[in-house]
Every structure is written in C-alpha cells, then in structure tokens.
Amino acid sequence: MSDRKQGGRFRKVTNKVRRTPEAQDEDLWERVQLARHAERPYTLDYINRLCSDFEELHGDRYFSDDAALVAGFGRYHDTPVAFIGQQKGRDTNERTCRNFGMAGPEGYRKAMRVMEIANRLGISVVTLIDTPGAFPGASAEERGQGGAISRSIQMMWRLDVPTVAVIIGEGSSGGALGLGVADRVLMLENSTYSVISPEGASAILWRDASKAKLAAQAFKPTAANCYRWGVVDAVVPEPEGGAHTDPGQAAEILDQYLSRVLTELGAVPPADRRRARRERFRRLGPLRDPEGGMGMATGRETPPPG
C-alpha cells in the first residue's frame, strides 16, 4: 500500500473521528466488546509481523518470569527495536498461563529491565498495550505491584531513546499506564483506553458489575474520544470490520505509521524529546465539563499527520 493511499486512510478515519464524536457514543459498548474480541491480534501477533529475529527476554532478576508480559528485542526495518507488551492468550490453557494479560510486578520489572538495556544501547522502545489492568491479587500487592508500576512510569518518563506506545486492544488502569508514558501514544481504531475497566468502575461506583455498559458510557474510552481530548496523538485505522478480520493488513497499517513516527522521533535530540514528553503528559491534568460530561481540557480539532 502506497504512503499516499495509506495517508488518505489515516486522514479519512481521523476526520470521521473529528466530525462526529457524539455519534461514536451510539456504538460505544460495541467498540468496547470489539476491543476484547477473542480473535483480535495480540502483542505477539504484531511483533511477529512487524519485526524479524525477535528474541524474548525472561525473568525480572528478582522473583520470577511473568508470561502476561512479553519483552525483548527484534529487527524492525533493519534497525534494532525493543518491543514490550501484554499478551492475553488464545485458548483456556494459554489464557490461564498468561493470566489474561494482567501482569504482576515481575512483568513490569522485566519491562524495566528491557527498557534499561535499550536506553543504554540507544535502541528505540515500542510498547503494545492490551490489558484489562494489572493483576489485582493480594500476592501481587505483597510483591510490590504499585511500586513496580510507578517505577516503570518513572523509567519511561526519563528514557533518552525514542518511545512509542500503541493501544492495540484494551488499555485499562495502571496496568496500561505502566507502559504508556511515551513520546507518541496512538490507538487502533477499535481499541479502548481508560482509567479503569467498565466492570471495575461499575463494581466500585454502583456495587453492581452488571452496570459496566453504563460505566463505559460515562468514561467514553474509545479512540475517537481519547484523540479528541488529546490523550492520544493519532487514531490508526483498522481493516473493514476490525483488526481481527485481517491481522496481516492491521499490522501493515500499523507498520506504516510506526516507521514514520520512529523516523521523526529519531531526528529529535534526546533532551528535546524528554522535555516534550514531560510537557505532553503534564498537559493532561486539567479537566472541564462543557456539556455535562467528562472530558480533557486539551481537546483538539486538527487531524494528526497522515
């Protein structure tokens, strides 16, 4: 697919997002379900299509390995790149082994281990986010779950190398944010990104998990809204019907954007990248309530580069 044709796809999707944000709410819950589709491409599906010679690293050098989080190095367009992301699993056995993509502290310490190596060697870092949240069990808390996530955020904040975060499915809670502090943050068209999963919010706010749909309508976690509020930098189109209908094409579309943004970031001096990264996330703090709903104060009306 040519860059011109691909760029047109980016503009078409983003313009649709820009023109009709309210219309997206009508199928909001359907998009939440689509982000969780069992056949949707996961982290390893994208890694295997985007890069060659991928070598996965295991273990956090403290306690154990965490299969819920994949981290390693591969060659992307003949350039070494570190890839990190949650992996949910396809069948019952794999999902159990990978804890449904809910990483524990060992996973985030493993991610930091790879980030530190990448930073020392001058290798770009790409994170692929797909999780309902970090593992909330007592065992994870006992081993320092909150501290591991916060240190992962801190490390991404300070990295000298180019960083890109991609929400490929679900992006919920601190489990997503632990891999999301990057120079550029982008979302696939049918992914979601929010402070908590709809079920978690429903259980906390209404003591009733059956009201997850109502929670999703309140948070509006779609790519359309996240772009409009300035939470993400671009919405990446998916094949007709969703990424699960054609994983190969979904990876090709992501490849077009990822290669372009990594090239752009590589031309920026490290000190300037760090400063821009910090300013980007500091701007996300203010909130406003213009129409009785929640929204970021940094909303934008112009499409990202296509």
Asked whether residue 302 is assigned to any structural domain, the reply reads no
At 76, the amino acid letter reads: Y
Q: Which pLDDT belongs to residue 221? A: 93
Instruction: Tell me the pLDDT tens digit for each residue of 82-141.
Output: 999 999 999 999 999 999 999 999 999 999 999 999 999 999 999 999 999 999 999 999
Asked whether residue 209 is assigned to any structural domain, the reply reads yes
At 246, the amino acid letter reads: D
| Residues linked to residue 47 through DSSP beta bridges, in sequence order | none
Instruction: Give the count of alpha carbons within 13 A of 249, CB side only.
Output: 13
CATH number for the domain spanning 120: value is 3.90.226.10
DSSP-assigned letter for residue 303: P
Number of compact structural domains in the chain: 1
Asked whether residue 305 is assigned to any structural domain, the reply reads no
Cα first-last separation, the chain? 14
Q: Which pLDDT belongs to residue 210? A: 86
Q: Which pLDDT belongs to residue 286? A: 64
Q: What is the pTM of this model?
A: 0.86
Asked whether residue 304 is assigned to any structural domain, the reply reads no
Asked whether residue 216 is assigned to any structural domain, the reply reads yes
Asked whether residue 123 is assigned to any structural domain, the reply reads yes
Tokens of 250: 């979904």
Q: Which pLDDT belongs to residue 291? A: 54
* CA dihedral over 83, 154, 262, 123, signed as positive or negative: negative
Q: Which pLDDT belongs to residue 302? A: 41
Helix (H, G, I), strand (E, B), or coil: what is residue 290? coil
At 287, the amino acid letter reads: L
Asked whether residue 301 is assigned to any structural domain, the reply reads no
Asked whether residue 306 is assigned to any structural domain, the reply reads no
**Domain span holding position 143:** 3-296
pLDDT tens digits in sequence order for the chain, 306 residues long: 444 444 455 444 545 554 455 555 557 899 999 999 999 999 999 999 999 999 999 999 999 999 999 999 999 999 999 999 999 999 999 999 999 999 999 999 999 999 999 999 999 999 999 999 999 999 999 999 999 999 999 999 999 999 999 999 999 999 999 999 999 999 999 999 999 999 999 999 999 888 999 999 888 999 999 999 999 999 999 999 999 999 999 999 999 999 999 999 999 999 999 999 999 999 886 656 555 554 444 555 444 444
